[in-house]
Amino acid sequence: MCEKPLGHDVQTIDSLYALSAETKKHLLCGFHRRWDPSFSGVRQAVQAGACGKVHKIKSISRDNPVPSYEYLKISGGIVHDCASHDIDMLCWVLGTYPTQVYALAHTHDPEIKKLDDFDSVELVFNFPNQVIGTVDVTRKAVYGYDQRLEVVGDGGLVQANNYPKTSLVTADVNGFKHDAGRYSFPTRYPEAYCGVLDHLVDLMQGKVAEPMLSAQHLHNITKILDYAAHAAKSGNVEKIVLP
């Protein structure tokens, strides 16, 4: 098992899965959100028709804290580093891949600007069946780690919201107040990380035949990330061509 990214280009991804096939050993990429009860619940509800014909899907990922400069230098950029989970979620929930991507991107942090990278990006995808997908990623969320997923259709809405530190709510004449969100990914996704490891053990014991994430899917996600990163740099609409 390897946490994402397995690599920053399709050649590396494909070579690792080729080695996996050659040695007859499983290779599991840890897109952990698939094992998060809230996000997997969104997929189950959408697949069951809870929101009818899907019109839009939106994923939000806002970092807390801002990663260290040393990490940012090797991260592969905000699109590959942050948006990969979101794009995997969009494709997994919808069961298909996008055909186009457009992006707006800006840099507010001078240290990140030195790396020729962005800290705020909005990706807009065109999916089959006229579904619009959006990914909202940013490096700084002072109010806590912000992770949300929403699907809206002609029959309703399905969403997963943030997890505050506690469910405590206080209220007075000035309004309602609750705790900030979880600090960062280790405290937001404990069930998800356990789920990934359970899946790995099931693979090792032969209880599951194949990893949840296939070689072809990782190839496709990496290609989509390449198109999205290029769109963020160019400002152009990129046509997504997959095998």
pLDDT, one tens digit per residue, over 58-72 is 999 999 999 999 999
pLDDT, one tens digit per residue, over 205-226 is 999 999 999 999 999 999 999 9
Closest to 90 in 3D by CA, of 151, 157, 152: 151
Whether the pLDDT of residue 181 is over 90: the answer is no
Mention every residue, 6+ apart, whose C-beta is less than 8 A from residue 21: 215
Mean of the per-residue pLDDT values of the chain: 95
Cis link prior to 5 (omega < 30° from 0)?
yes
| Overall average pLDDT of the 91-96 stretch | 98
Domain ranges of the chain: 2-235
* Domain 2-235 grouped into CATH 3.30.360.10: yes
Sign of the dihedral defined by the CA atoms of residues 216, 50, 137, 67, in that order: negative
Q: Count Cβ neighbours within 10 Å for each residue of 29-38 and write b for 16 or more, e otherwise.
A: bbbbbbbbeb
pLDDT, one tens digit per residue, over 107-119 is 999 999 999 999 9
pLDDT band at 151 (very low <50, low <70, confident <90, very high): very high
| Overall average pLDDT of the 156-181 stretch | 89
Q: What are phi and psi of 15, to 5 degrees?
A: -65, -35
pLDDT band at 165 (very low <50, low <70, confident <90, very high): confident
Q: Are 215 and 20 in contact (CB under 8 A)?
A: yes
pLDDT band at 183 (very low <50, low <70, confident <90, very high): confident
